[in-house]
Structure formats: C-alpha cells, structure tokens
C-alpha cells in the first residue's frame, strides 16, 4: 500500500477502500469463485487420495466466509492444523487448514486399522508424527490448488511446515489489514467427519479463473511414498524408553508392611535381566550394569523386529 493510499485509509472506511482497490469483491462474485473451488476439490481430491493410498474419502463444498484474513483464520478454531503457503504468479500468502480429526483417522487407516472400528476422535492437538502426515495432506491440497488456478509458469506451491492452530503466532500489529475469503469443505473418511479450508486473500482470489486440470493422473504420485515417508518420520522421532526389572516375589502381607528404607531384591541372582520397552511394546532384553556414576543396560537380544517396532511406534 502506498503512502497516498495509507492517507486515504485513515479517512475512509477500510472495506470501501478495499473495494475501490480490488481487495474486496461483491458477495455474488466471491460466492461464485468459492463454489468453483469447492467443485474442483470435490471432484479431484478424493481421486488423489484413493490413487495414492487406496483410501476413499468424500469431499463436499460447505460454503464461504468473507472478512479480514486474521479474523478468518482465528474463526477456524483450535482443533485444526494450518499451513502457510505461497504460489508464485498467483498469491504470496494463502493459508490451508485441515481438521485434526481427519489427520488422526488417516493415520489409523494407513497403519492398517479396520475402518469399521475407527470412530470420531476426541478433539486434541496433533502429535509431531501426525503433523508430519499433515504435511503430506497439505501437499496434495496444494497440488489441486496449483492445478486449479493454473498460474503462469507452472510453479509448485511453497508450503511451510504445518502447525497446530493454537501455536499460530500473533499477527504483527503493524501489518496492513487484508480482506480474504475462507472456502470451507467437508471431508469424510469412513465414520469420521472433518473439514478442510482455504483462506485466500481476495486480491488474488478476484483475479482467479478456476480451471479443470486436464488429467487427474497429473495430480497423483506413487502410493508407496506415503508408507515410506511415515516410516522415515517415525525413525527420526524421539522415543522415550522404559526399563523394567523383575523384583523378588513377596506376599501381600509383606508388601502391605513395607516402609521407607526397606529393600526389595532383584529376582535374578546373577546377571540381572532388564526388559526395555517403548509405548508399551517390549523391544530388547538387556543386562543391568553400571558405567562410571550412571546405571546402564546392555542390549543382549531383540524382542521385536525392526518392522514390528516401526508399526507399533507409528500407532
């Protein structure tokens, strides 16, 4: 915004100024563009997911909201994850949103859970591994967006790492207010219902002509990519290990009389066996020991294979 435009804004209604400068459209125009995006996603996003994951989802257009960008983002609520994006030659600052329940259910499905037993999850933030999966979801949403707006140059959309909505930093107080539109779509995966949304500045939206991609296949990548990336994300995740040592058996009468300072012996009299686990899954049989001033365990045998371990830790 130029200095002369800033001066105008101080004495003119913000919405009126936005309309005069191409930053705010009339209801019918924005409604038509939002519906075009809704149709685009309803037709193509389910095909992308099915071709890559063999998982069926339903997408349907709900409606749109018009308002200031920061207000629209805040109205998405706390149980969504967000990704800030840009697309060269189209828009430098759009936001994608996805309901956490969709990502949680998708993770369960990709780990082989029976669709019939997956129910609507309780509202909660996403874990780090689920955020990693959300990044893949947003990449597919962005691919459909890129193909639909057909920006000059054919550039890929650039997305920052997703984050839980509650972790979004506060808006810069010096940032110029900008009008946008939220395009909301319902998404269902089995018994779980959720939403996805696009929050687009109207300066970009009003210049957009939504087009139908020539081929649905151009939106898809190989199915194996999902499984490989989830496994890699699990390998990089920090996991808390627990060690369990069996103690000498005692009678209930003896246990009930234990007091501070009493000593209970290990069950093993020679090398003391330690079972190491993570997330409730036994991983290794170890030997209890000491190195310097720290107690340690030495791995003696694997209880679970690498594949079994990865499948369990992804749950």
pLDDT at 4: 47
pLDDT at 1: 45
> What is the three-state SS of the chain?
CCHHHHHHHHCCCHHHHHHHCCCCCCHHHHHHHHHHHHHHHHHHHHHHHHHHHCCCCEEEEEEEEEEEHHHHHHCCCCCEEEEEEEECCCEEEEEEEEEHHHHHHHHHHHCCCCHHHCCCCCCCCCCHHHHHHHHHHHHHHHHHHHHHHCCCCCCCCEECCCEEHHHCCCCCCCCCCCEEEEEEEEEEECCEEEEEEEEEEHHHHCCCCCCCCCCHHHHCCCCHHHHHHHHHHHHHCCCCCEEEECECCCCHHHHHCCCCCCCCCECCCCCCEEEEEECCEEEEEEEEEEECCEEEEEEEEECCCHHHHHHHHCC
Domain finish residue from 198, 217, 236: 236
pLDDT at 225: 64
Domain that holds residue 134: 11-236
For 218-260, how does the pLDDT look when each residue is reduced to its tens digit (9 = 90+)? 455 555 566 666 666 656 666 678 888 888 898 888 888 889 9
Residue 189 sits in a domain whose CATH number is 3.40.1550.10
- Do 185 and 281 reside in the same domain of the chain? no
**Residue 257 within a domain:** yes
pLDDT at 69: 94
pLDDT at 8: 46
**Residue 42 within a domain:** yes
pLDDT at 171: 77
For 183-221, how does the pLDDT look when each residue is reduced to its tens digit (9 = 90+)? 999 999 999 999 999 999 999 999 999 998 765 554 555
Residue 263 sits in a domain whose CATH number is 2.30.330.10
Count up the domains in the chain and report the number: 2
Whether residue 178 is predicted with pLDDT greater than 70 in this model: the reply is yes
Average pLDDT, the chain: 85
Taking residues 9-21, report their average pLDDT.
Answer: 72
- Do 167 and 304 reside in the same domain of the chain? no
pLDDT over 70 percentage in the chain: 83
- Do 44 and 189 reside in the same domain of the chain? yes
**Higher-pLDDT residue of 99, 279:** 99
For 81-131, how does the pLDDT look when each residue is reduced to its tens digit (9 = 90+)? 999 999 999 999 999 999 999 999 998 887 778 889 999 999 999 998 899
- Do 53 and 100 reside in the same domain of the chain? yes
Q: Which of 5-14, 232-241, 289-298 has the highest mean pLDDT?
A: 289-298
**Higher-pLDDT residue of 262, 84:** 84
Whether residue 79 is predicted with pLDDT greater than 90 in this model: the reply is yes
Q: Is the pTM of this model over 0.85?
A: no
**Residue 155 within a domain:** yes
**Residue 3 within a domain:** no
- Do 82 and 150 reside in the same domain of the chain? yes
pLDDT at 36: 96
Q: How sure is the predictor about 312, in pLDDT bands with cuts at 50, 70 and 90?
A: low
**Residue 2 within a domain:** no
Domain finish residue from 236, 262, 286: 236
Q: How sure is the predictor about 307, in pLDDT bands with cuts at 50, 70 and 90?
A: low
Domain finish residue from 214, 236, 258: 236
- Do 190 and 49 reside in the same domain of the chain? yes
- Do 191 and 107 reside in the same domain of the chain? yes
């Amino acid at each position: 915004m130029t200095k002369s435009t800033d001066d105008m804004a101080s004495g003119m209604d913000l919405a009126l100024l936005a309309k005069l400068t191409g930053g705010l459209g009339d209801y019918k125009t924005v409604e038509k563009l939002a519906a075009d995006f809704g149709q685009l996603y309803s037709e193509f996003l389910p095909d992308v997911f099915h071709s890559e994951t063999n998982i069926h989802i339903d997408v349907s257009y709900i409606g749109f909201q018009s308002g200031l960008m920061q207000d629209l983002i805040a109205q998405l609520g706390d149980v969504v994850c967000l990704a800030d994006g840009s697309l060269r030659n189209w828009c430098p600052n759009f936001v994608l949103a996805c309901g956490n329940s969709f990502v949680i259910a998708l993770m369960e499905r990709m780990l082989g859970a029976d669709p019939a037993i997956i129910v609507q999850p309780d509202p909660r933030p996403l874990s780090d591994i689920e955020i990693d999966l959300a990044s893949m979801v947003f990449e597919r949403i962005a691919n459909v967006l890129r193909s639909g707006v057909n920006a000059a140059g054919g550039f890929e959309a650039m997305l920052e790492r997703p984050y839980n909505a509650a972790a979004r930093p506060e808006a810069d107080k010096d940032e110029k207010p900008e009008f946008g539109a939220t395009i909301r779509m319902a998404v269902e995966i089995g018994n779980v219902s959720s939403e996805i949304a696009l929050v687009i500045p109207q300066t970009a939206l009003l210049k957009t002509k939504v087009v139908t991609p020539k081929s649905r296949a151009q939106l898809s990548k190989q199915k194996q990519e999902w499984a490989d990336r989830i496994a890699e994300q699990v390998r990089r995740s920090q996991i808390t290990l627990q060690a369990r040592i069996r103690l000498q058996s005692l009678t209930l009468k003896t246990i009930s009389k234990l007091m501070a300072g009493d000593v209970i012996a290990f069950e093993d009299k020679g090398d003391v066996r330690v079972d190491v686990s993570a997330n409730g899954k036994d991983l290794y049989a170890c030997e209890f020991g000491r190195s310097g001033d720290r107690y340690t365990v030495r791995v003696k045998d694997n209880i679970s294979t690498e594949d079994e371990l990865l499948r369990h830790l992804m749950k």
